[in-house]
Chains A and B, each alone.
Chain A
């Protein structure tokens, strides 16, 4: 039976079995919802944590571990979840409220879509040994094995994932070249000023950073990568090629559903409560644009751990809320670990002005209009959350600057490894 009253909801379906999906399930039970929950996932694995895959997982030595967040027993028994793993969603019938997953049909009263995004691959490299993205645990196992074999590594794309892979390879003493099409990396994520500082971290740690250069082709011999040919004719020898060139929101299965999708990237268009354009359907995590009230309703789609966690919980709570749910307001936060340094960013990078308050260790504040909207630190872990609070409290720019300028300078730690 199709129902619009939360009191009558008996079937909650969560599609996407990663962090956002898990948090959705947990939040649903926390609200006291005692109906059926089905968790549908494309990967065969139980929900697991992705950030370590491009960090500790690549370290030399002990065998890598990627334990699931929760055991199957916990999910089934404690949380009462029906698991449908290794079962990618293939379609949605919004009229009859049925999720299609291959030959399975799962009816829902409420649906949380948390299918995330898929790593973009280099055209023409499908099935080529030695060429990988890094999104899933299976990707990470393959990259790690190549590093174990001492691969010369070319990373394509100087974003956060690519940079962490480069850092992992350098930590093992392996030669790494990073190829980036932009003249300054990470401009979209942190702006050009901080992007420059991040570029310097690569150079200081022996990675060969080639900026403003595209890849013409990956060179393949006997089905295996042997190198990369750049646009400028340079040839780089490599046994491992890692593509960190962004992601594509996983919404292909929704194309015929009538759901509202963003015209640029095809991700879900949600409102402030994470409701999509279809009744009873909510979005969460990497797959969802939503207008963030904290930044005057700026439409955002974030690929951050914290966002997936917050969205997952909020989407399920709102889906089950009889008053229609509450707007999701948050200060974006992400971190990245390179060469023993911790980069942390809070807020949004689109700014009228970026002021660098300290170089060593780095601290920059981002201004939009008359308020502080972002902060980036390197190796200032005790300060980043205090800066985040300024943003969540919509602190004025002069006040934020005064606060930040009063922070202790700290001493730059020695890079590890």
Chain B
């Protein structure tokens, strides 16, 4: 899977980081850093939770 991130929508609230800390990290300036744009299947549950939890709906999974 790949991640599509809408950085215009993201406001850095960090819920994705709470769900999937190996994939998302909010930076000191409040912007989002994606640590792994092609997360492995082992991380699917976490990544799905992260996408679902985003208050601004900035995250989407694109299936390969």
Tell me the A residues contacting B by CB distance below 8 Å.
49, 51, 305-306, 309, 333, 335, 342, 344, 380-382, 384-386, 388-389, 408, 410-411, 413
Contacts and interface: CB of A to CB of B under 8 A. Distances in A.
**What are the 7 closest A-B residue pairs judged by CB atoms, nearest first?**
A385-B14, A385-B17, A381-B30, A382-B28, A385-B18, A381-B26, A381-B12
A381 B53 CA distance: 17
Contact of B21 (A49, A342, A381, A385): A385
Contacts of A51: 55
A335, A380, A410, most chain B CB atoms within 10 A:
A335
Interface of B: 12-15, 17-18, 21, 25-30, 53, 55
Contacts of A388: 18
B45 to A, nearest CB: 13
Contact of A309 (B26, B30, B53): B53
A305 B17 CA distance: 17
SS class, residues of chain A in contact with chain B: mixed
Given A306-B15, A388-B18, A389-B18, A382 B55 contact: no
Contacts of B17: 385
13 contacts: A51-B55, A306-B15, A306-B53, A335-B13, A342-B30, A381-B29, A381-B30, A382-B25, A382-B26, A382-B27, A385-B14, A385-B17, A411-B28
Given A384-B14, A385-B17, A389-B18, A305 B25 contact: no
- Chain B at the A interface: mostly helix, strand, loop or mixed? loop
A305 B27 contact: no
A382 B28 CA distance: 5
Nearest to A23: B52
A235 to B, nearest CB: 39
Looking at B21, B25, B29, which has the most chain A CB atoms within 10 Å of its CB?
B29
B46 to A, nearest CB: 13
Given A381-B26, A413-B29, 7 more contacts: A49-B55, A333-B18, A382-B26, A382-B27, A382-B30, A389-B21, A408-B28
Nearest to A51: B55
A385 B53 contact: no
A290 to B, nearest CB: 19
A49 B11 CA distance: 14
A25 B50 CA distance: 19
Contacts of B27: 381-382
A240 to B, nearest CB: 26
A381 B27 CA distance: 7
Contacts of B55: 49, 51, 305-306, 309
